[in-house]
Amino acid sequence: MKNKHIVIGIGELLWDILPSGKKAGGAPVNFTFHASQTGAAGYAISALGNDALGNELMHELDKNKINYLIEKVDYPTGTVEVTLNEGIPRYVINENVAWDYIPLTDSMKQLVSEADAICFGTLAQRSLVSRNTTLALLKLVKADAYRLYDINLRQHFYSKDIIENSLIHANSFKVNDEEIEVLKKLFSLDMENEQVCHWFISRFGLRLVILTAGELYSTVYTPDEMSTIETPKVEVADTVGAGDCFSGVLITAFLKGKTLKEAHSMAVNAAAHVCSCQGAWVAHTI
């Protein structure tokens, strides 16, 4: 572990119930999996239920060699009903589940204090317990570590307050082309996407903003540099976890000393490969 960067995803851990069957997932653990694939020591922090689905998920984590700090709580293991329209997922996310109640533990505090990067989102902050745990852990992260807020807006599980507070605790931000339209309304920003990204960099002192636009392109902005790459054309099986793969590979590549262009290219190619396969935990050799 000493020779590897420690990269952590905190938040939802669940079963995606797909038309083809159930697949283990959740944005933070997807991020962790792909960071591990890129050479990091990836850890998932979450909670599961004391139930058969929780035991199965632990088995999946072990099988895929994902490190974790997972607490068992007295709520059911999370599930999400996923329907696909031409490969694009739509979600119905069940509430009052285990990952809504991630407790704060000493082992989590210790691990996070050693982390080189941590990824968190909006969804797991829909409940006060997991939100408080997330924010408490973010305060323990080293000053020079990446604190990536992958906004990941789902259904009605977000508010301007949660988004603003998350950005205050972050130094890196990932958003897609649909979510940026929501942000323009929430923050009353009448400007082009590039200006919006630079506005967030300036307003919240960010070192990085990632804008993805599905099959079209992605752009990574820093305060003084940018990189845009067209999305490679692949035969899409589904896009579940592609964005999480993108950010997991990108952040780990930065930690390994890659340039913006190099890291961005690695992230784009890995995400395209995930799109060509079913499910989120797809091995790659980037």
What is the model's pLDDT at position 286? 56
Distance of alpha carbon 266 from alpha carbon 251, whole angstroms: 10
Cβ neighbours, 10 Å, residue 71:
19
Taking domain 6-275, whether its CATH number is 3.40.1190.20 is answered by: yes
The residue to which tokens 């082009």 are assigned: 192
Q: What angle do CA 146, 115, 63 make, to 5 degrees?
A: 110
What is the model's pLDDT at position 285? 56
177-219 residue pLDDT tens: 999 999 999 999 999 999 999 999 999 999 999 999 887 889 9
Structural domain spans, the chain? 6-275
The one-digit pLDDT tens for each residue of the chain (286 residues) are 457 999 999 999 999 887 778 888 889 999 998 888 888 999 999 999 999 999 999 999 999 888 999 999 999 999 988 787 776 777 789 999 999 999 999 999 999 999 999 999 999 999 999 999 999 999 999 999 999 999 988 878 999 999 999 999 999 999 999 999 999 999 999 999 999 999 999 999 999 999 998 878 899 999 999 999 888 787 665 566 677 888 999 999 999 999 999 999 988 888 776 655 665 667 765 5
87-125 residue pLDDT tens: 677 778 999 999 999 999 999 999 999 999 999 999 999
What is the model's pLDDT at position 245? 85
Give SS3 for 239. coil
Residue 27: C-alpha distances to residues 60, 194, 203 (Å): 15, 25, 26
Distance of alpha carbon 46 from alpha carbon 124, whole angstroms: 9
Residue type, 267: A
Q: 248-275 burial by CB neighbour count: b if 16+ within 10 A, else e?
A: bbbbbbbbeebebeebbbbbbebbbbbb
| Residue 44 main-chain phi, psi, to 5 deg | -105, 135
Tokens of 140: 């323990």
